[in-house]
Copies of this chain bind each other. A is one copy, B any other.
């Protein structure tokens, strides 16, 4: 029904006009992220997260990739060059927001914690955080 190319500005801004969705995008800043980490970091029910991710997908600002049972979401740049530039600047702007900063820290903490919350024992971690996690101890 809708083609890849029907990216429009109103839909784009509507996707960004909700705090939950901004928080989700913020967590994908550096990497694709598995849905289970979104629910853990935002402390929101899974259907809520899923619905907001669907919203972002339909607006064309994220892609989903399946890996076994897990779904990874990543930011995708809009086809139009100026729109892509705008989107990058928006992300840079938002990343300074205090709550969003805390969210990213929380994601890092959750991923690197030696004792993961029960549900996340085998969940695939965001790549950038895995590399931190696997860094040899400074001893």
Contacts and interface: CB of A to CB of B under 8 A. Distances in A.
Given A82-B93, A89-B89, A93-B83, A19 B13 contact: no
Nearest to A78: B93
Number of copies: 2
A94 B19 contact: no
A82 B92 contact: yes
Contacts of A16: 9-10, 13, 17
Contacts of A13: 13-14, 16-17
A89 B85 CA distance: 8
Interface residues of A, number: 22
Contacts of A97: 9
A8 to B, nearest CB: 9
A67 interface: no
A122 interface: no
Given A10-B18, A13-B13, A17-B14, A90 B86 contact: yes
Interface string A78-114: 0010110110011011101100000000000000000
Interface of A: 9-11, 13-14, 16-19, 22, 80, 82-83, 85-86, 89-90, 92-94, 96-97
